[in-house]
Structures are given as structure tokens and as C-alpha cells.
Structure 1
Amino acid sequence: MNFQTDNPANELHTLRDYIRWAMTCFKQANLFYGHGTDNPWDEAVHLVLNAVHLPWDASHHVLDARLTTQEKQRILTFIRRRTEERIPLPYITGEAWYMGIPFYVDQRVLIPRSPIAELTEQLFSPWLRPGPVDHILDLCTGSGCIGIACAYQFPESQVDLVDISTDALKVAQKNIERHELTHRVHAIESDLFAGLSGKRYDLIVSNPPYVDLADFNSMPSEYQHEPKLALTSGSDGLDITRKILREASQYLAEDGLLVVEVGNSEQHIIDQFPQIPFTWAEFEKGGNGVFLLTAEELAQYARYF
């Protein structure tokens, strides 16, 4: 679609018109979907409604509402950025949803999509021991979505959001304030555990960088807009994960639980640590590559890390 010569605003008038037209543009551009939607129709609905400040699940009755010239131009700008620049939709709208919770995002952080959400909804049962969960660590937090979701699920807890990126922590702080959790959720700049001396956690959850170089180089162009620091970690994607495995036991309570996502690098870690009895979560909603280890298991197999 040539936005320089075509003038669709002369022919399109309603939200429904623009949703239909946006879907056509997306299909012609052969976009990749993986940052909140998985098909052009849902992507078009989210884009058009967000452009006019309507919720994505607004009543279908509003779809025949006519648009002002300014609203039309805003929608067209969104469509152009999505199709010509291949910018993932949440970066255009400034919002992503995780576990049914809205989060502010921009290109300083990854777009939330971790399957850890499903474990969080289940309170990490049956692996997390019963009883109060007082202290939670979200390591490599990015936008803060995992830790903030945990804060909702464990309302008695104090949650630390840790990242090495100052820019990412600014986004995380914005989300802490958005959800009015400043009294329980705290953003901390730290290179993994380096700034957490003396702290112990009942639950450590981490979605660290884990994409190996081969996968990174073959990823769709949409992913090139995400911070490389948050995606890659050495040639096999596991430099940071290995460090987490070596150090986590020093920061877990005696009956604590470590949960780490390694995605498609799952086989790499199995091959490197064949002695370790990783528990690999199974997901009904899709996803893979999330392992769980108790503090006792980490201590028992520490010599292998």
C-alpha cells in the first residue's frame, strides 16, 4: 500500500472500514504476529481501536461510528508504522497486556509475552510450598510485568524488580506507579544478584535474555525493534542463565523456588546439565522452556553449576 499516492481517508469513514482496510494492508505486507496477537484481524482491531482511545474489547456497536479527519490520520499513521517500519503494535500504542493486566511499554523493554503468566495465575502450584509468600524477586524484569503480576497474585508480598538496564527500570517504575504498588513493589538497578546482598526470597522468577545467536539472526524484523540486551546472552543464549543457576541458592529461602524461562534454548541447557533434575512446566495456553528448581535442589547439585 502506497501511503504517498493513495488517500484512503476519502473512501473510509467508520471504525469498521478502517479495521477491514488495516487487515488488508497487514496481509499484503506479510507481517509477523507474535507481540500480543497471532492474526491480522485481531491486530487490526487492536490498532484501530487504540488509535481512537477505545479499549480493544469495546462493544461492536461502536464500529459503525464515523471518524473525524484527525482520527483517520492517526489510524493511518499507526498502519504505516506497522506495515512500512515493521514496528510491533505495542510499541506503537504504548501498551501491552500480560495476564489480563495492561502495562506501559516502549522500545526500552521487551514486549511482555512470557508463558510464566500461566504459572503465576496458578500461584506456582504445586511447586511453591504452601504458606505466605513474603518476598518475591523478578530478575531481569524489563517492564516489570512478571513481578507486578506476582504482586497481584500474592497480595501479602514485597516484590523486587531487578534489571541491569537503567532505561528498563524507568519503564518498570512507570508501571509500578500505574498500578499503585509503590508501597510493595520496588525497582532496583543491579547486575543480577550483585546489588541484593543479604536478601532472601521465597520465590525468584526470571525471564532473562536467552536467544542464541543463530535464532536471533533468523528472527522476523519485528524483533529487531526490541533491545538486543534483553534478547541475547552469548552464542548459546545461556550466559546469564548459567550465572543465575550458580548464584540463586544464596538468595533463596531454604524452602524457596526458582523459576526461569529459557525458551528455545531449553535443549541447550538440558545438554549442558544432564545431571540436573529440571522440572519443565507444561502450558495449556502455549509456550515452552520454563524450568523450576527448589532451593534444596540447587544446593544439592551446586557442584555442577
Structure 2
Amino acid sequence: MIRQAASQLAEAGCESARVDAEILLMHVWQISRTDLIIRALDEVPESIETAFKIAIKRREQREPVAYIIGEKEFWSRPFHVSPDVLIPRPETEHLIEALLEQFPDSDAAYRFCDIGTGSGCIAITLACEYPQARIVATDISEAALRIARCNAERLNVSDRITFRHGDMLQPLQEEDGPFDAIISNPPYVAKHEMDALAAELDHEPRGALTDESDGMQFLSIIIGEGAQWLKPEGVIIVETGLCGLPPTPAGLMMKNEIVDLAGHLRGGLYRTG
């Protein structure tokens, strides 16, 4: 079954066809990878085979595995996802690494802000890593906020995260700040880049991917308006891609660029002063 499904997925253009097939079978059968190995020669129940074929058909249409199984791991924690939110990506973990380096005291009562929270993966991860911190998370999508709230409850941090509905920094209220850090993975794909993206991204919310311009629009807003919400020596951390980073506004200084192991630019870290 797995070999046949992997062949189908490979023909459909899925890069990790064998792994995808295994994950989908484990999901519909509700078994672990160890169980999958142990049961390698077992006959698969008809109901499981039927559900598996449905899942494979969805994947053949390049629907992301995360949407099919309804979950994606981020920073070693499971996050519920749906087509209402961007699927958390390993690249975004570089932002978490950068913030942990800047704020090494895990027991401090920091105030953090996550702009465009989506699934809540950034805000919730910060709440888990800093058990005394309080976080404000914003998103323009009510549907996304429902998922973020659900994830916060599942990971037992909902009492320390305030979710606000609105565009970028606009829904922030005076009592929310000032913040030790503002962190964001905004839509940064330029409009002209969209057609070249993998077919899977057609299933993700377009508004979470692109600003329908040069990719700099939301980055410029966060960096330009964020400084007024920071404490002295506060930082802004943003993710970016091929579009790069906008000019550094007055009141902020670029502390360092965030790059991945391959040396590709993944974000920027700014400090007040």
C-alpha cells in the first residue's frame, strides 16, 4: 500500500512521496512509526485502507500533509492547523532562536508581542519557553485567531496570551505595552514571486504569504511603527525572504541579520537606541 501510494505521489510531483505516504497511513490508522514497522506484513483493515486512499487522493492534488492530518510540529510541539492559517515552518524557528539569545533569563516576566500570529506558533512557543512572560498576539483573521486560541488552550498557556483582532499593530492597546520584544513572520513574498512557488502553497491563505506588492510593505510597517511600542533596549525581530529587509527607520538600529545554515537571509533583529 505504501509503495503504491508513494508511486502515485511521486507522479503527482510530491518531493517526499514515501514519507508522505507513511505519515498519512500512520494518521488514518492512528499508529506510531514503530507500529508501522511492526505491522509491515499485516493486512490493513478495509476502513483504514479506504481512509488512506482518500488521504492520498488529497495529497495527489498537492494539498499539504499538515492540512490533511490537521497538525504541524513547531519547536517540538504539535500545533493544530487548517487552511485558515499558514503552516508553521522550520525557518521561523530561527526567530525563536534569536529571541532566546537576546533574552536568556527564562524566568523573567517579559512582555512580548507577536504580529500576525496565524496558528499562534510564535506566541505560544514564547509563552512555553518563558513561563512568567505575557504575550499579546494580533491577527487580521478571526478564523486564524480561533485556531491560535485553540492551540494556546491545548498547550496550557491561554491565561498568559492576549489575542487581539486587527491589522498589524493597529489593535494594540495602551495597556498591552511597552514590550521587551516584537516578533513577526509577516507576508513577505513579492507578488511577482507567487507564480513560482510550489503547488502546495496554493492551498495556504494568500494573505499570509504576500503583500501583493514587493514583499516589503508589512515589514516596513512593523519596523517603522514598532519602535514606539518598545521598552528602552527593546528589540524587533522579523522574518523575511528573497525581498530582503527595508531601510532601517530612525529610532532603530540593525543589530544583526538572521541567516540559516546555508547562509540565506531569514530575518533581521533591530534594537532601539
TM-score (norm 2): 0.89
SS at match of 2:21: helix
Give, in whole Å, the separation in 2 of the partners of 1:153 and 1:46.
Answer: 28
RMSD: 2.4
2:3 aligns to what? Answer: 20
Runs of 4+ in 1 over 3 A off after TM superposition: 55-59, 62-65, 127-131, 272-278, 284-288
SS at match of 1:237: coil
Give, in whole Å, the separation in 2 of the partners of 1:246 and 1:88.
Answer: 34
Moved more, 204-213 or 180-189: 180-189
- Runs of 5+ consecutive residues of structure 2 not aligned to the other structure: none
Give, in whole Å, the separation in 2 of the partners of 1:292 and 1:280.
Answer: 6
> 1:60, CA displacement in angstroms?
2.6
> 1:170, CA displacement in angstroms?
0.9
1:228 to 199, 202, 206: 206
1:154 aligns to what? Answer: 130
Residue correspondences, number: 268
SS at match of 2:234: strand
Give, in whole Å, the separation in 2 of the partners of 1:204 and 1:123.
Answer: 10
Preserved contact between residue 110 and residue 180 of structure 2 (Cα < 8 Å) = yes
**How has the CA–CA distance of structure 1 residues 176 and 129 changed in structure 2, closer, same or farther, with 3 Å as cutoff?**
closer
> 1:64, CA displacement in angstroms?
3.5
- Runs of 5+ consecutive residues of structure 1 not aligned to the other structure: 1-17, 34-38, 297-305
1:41 aligns to what? Answer: 18
* Higher Rg of the two aligned structures: 1
Give the partner amino acid of 1:107.
P
Could you list the per-position Cα deviations for residues 146-191 of structure 1 after superposition, in whole angstroms to 9, with x for gaps in the alignment? Answer: 1111111111111222101111101111111111222112221121
Give, in whole Å, the separation in 1 of the partners of 2:46 and 2:263.
Answer: 41
1:292 aligns with 2:269: yes
1:113 aligns with 2:89: yes
> 1:273, CA displacement in angstroms?
5.3
**How has the CA–CA distance of structure 1 residues 204 and 101 changed in structure 2, closer, same or farther, with 3 Å as cutoff?**
same
Give, in whole Å, the separation in 2 of the partners of 1:97 and 1:116.
Answer: 12
More strand by share: 2
1:216 aligns to what? Answer: 194
TM-score (norm 1): 0.80
SS at match of 2:180: strand
**How has the CA–CA distance of structure 1 residues 185 and 54 changed in structure 2, closer, same or farther, with 3 Å as cutoff?**
farther
